[in-house]
Amino acid sequence: MHASITQFLTRSRRAATVRARAWASLLLAGATLVLPWLLGSLLAGCAPAIHFRSPDHAAADDPAPPTEMITEQLIAEERQQHQVRANEDLEQLLVPNPPAYAIGSGDIVAIVVWDHPELTGGLVTSANADPAVSAAAAASANATPQGFVVDRQGRIQFPLAGLLAVEGLTEEQARALLTSRLARYLAHPNVTLRVQAYRSKRVYIDGEVKSPGLQAINDIPMTLVEAINRAGGLLPTADQSRIELERDKVHYAINLRDLVQKNINPGLVMLAPGDVVRVHSRDESKVFVSGEVVTPKALTMHDGRLTLNEALGESGGISPLSGDARQVYVVRKTPQRTRVFQLDARIAGSLAMAEAFELQPKDVVYVAATPLANWNRNLSLLFPGALTSAVSAASRP
C-alpha cells in the first residue's frame, strides 16, 4: 500500500514537471515572436525618455522645448547672463551717499525759538529756565509727541510765520525758511527745528525675520541691513540668497551672499518709502531629483547654491542597474518658456561640467532609463509574473 502511494506521487510530480516545461516552452515561443517587434520599438535610436505634450493633446503642431546640451560654452553663457541681470538690479538699488531725511506729510516737527517761549505755547522754555522744569517738559514730550503736525498739503502753521510748506525739505532747509520768516518780526531769531515723530515714510518687511511688519524711516538711512536688524534679524530658516524687494510693482532679487563675494557692502542697498521686502524660506528653494537615481528626493539648496553634480550625489548617483548616463536632464520653467538641458555623463569632462552647472529653485533633474531597462519593464507588462514562474519551474531538476 505504501509503495503504491509513493509511485503515484512520483508519477504526479513528473507529470507536473512536464506540464510546466511545456508551458514555459509556449511562453518562450511567444516571447520569441514578440521580441523582434519589442526590441525594434525600444532600441530604435535610443530616443530621449522625456516627451512634452499639450494638456489637450491636440496641439500636435506645437514644437517641444528644444534640448540644450550642457557644454562649457553654455555654462559660461548662463553665468554671464546671471551676472548681467544681477548687476542691472544692483545699479538701481545701491546708494553710496544717502540723502538727508526729507520732511513728509504726517510728521511731527518740534520747533524752539530761543528766548521766545510764547511762540511755542509755553511747551519749551528759554535757556535760562529751571532745568527741572525743562526735564519735566521733555519727559512729557517723550510720552506724547507734541509739536507741529505736517498736514496733507505738506504745511505747518507757526505763529508770526503763518503757513510754511516744509514737505520735501530737510531739517536744515525748513529751519532756514522759518528763520527768514521770523526775521521780519524778530531781531536775529535763534530757531531750532527737528522732526520729533517720523510718520510719513514706511517700509514693510515680511518673511523669515523675527518681527515682520512696518518699519518707519527716520533720520538713520533705511538700508536693507538696517531694516532686517530692526525686524530682529533673519531666522535660521531664511534663505539669504532669495531676498525680494518690490518697488513700484517692480521686483528685484537680492542675494546677500553674492554681494559679499563681490565685495559689495549690503548696507549700500537703500530702501525707499513704500518698499516691500520679503525674505524667502529655504524650504521654497528646492530642487527635485527623479528618474533612475538611487534615491529620488527633493533637495534643499544651500543658500541658493546647488550644482547638478551635488544634486546627483545627494540622491545616491545614477542607478547602475537602470540609469542611462547619456540622458541626464534638467527641466527649468522660466517666465518666457520651458528650458530642457541634457548632460551626457559618459563624455570626458562631464563631471566637471556637472559641478559647474548651477541649478535654480524648482528645477527638476531627471535621469532616463536605459533601453534595456525599458525593454525589461515592457516585457514584464506583457507577461506579468508568468514568465518568471515558468522559468523557475523549468529550471527545477
CATH code linked to domain 108-197: 3.30.1950.10
CA 333 vs. chain centroid, Å, equals 14
* Residue whose C-alpha cell is 519727559: 139
Q: What's the confidence (pLDDT) of residue 132?
A: 42
CATH class of 202-281: alpha beta
Q: What's the confidence (pLDDT) of residue 389?
A: 56
Q: What's the confidence (pLDDT) of residue 303?
A: 76
In CATH, 284-376 is 3.30.750.24: no
Q: What's the confidence (pLDDT) of residue 106?
A: 92
Q: What's the confidence (pLDDT) of residue 93?
A: 85
* Residue whose C-alpha cell is 520569441: 32
Q: What's the confidence (pLDDT) of residue 232?
A: 94
Q: Where in the chain is the domain with CATH 3.30.1950.10?
A: 108-197
Q: What's the confidence (pLDDT) of residue 241?
A: 86
Q: Which segments of the chain have a pLDDT < 70?
A: 1-63, 85-89, 121-145, 383-397
Q: Are 313 and 242 in contact (CB under 8 A)?
A: no
Q: Where in the chain is the domain with CATH 3.10.560.10?
A: 202-281, 284-376
Q: What's the confidence (pLDDT) of residue 397?
A: 54
Mean pLDDT computed over every residue of the chain = 79
The pLDDT tens digits for 333-372 are 888 889 999 999 888 888 899 999 999 989 999 999 988 8
The pLDDT tens digits for 253-281 are 888 888 888 888 888 999 999 999 999 99
* Residue whose C-alpha cell is 514578440: 34
CA-nearest of 42, 53, 67 to 366 is 67
Using only C-alpha atoms, the chain has a radius of gyration, in whole angstroms, of 38
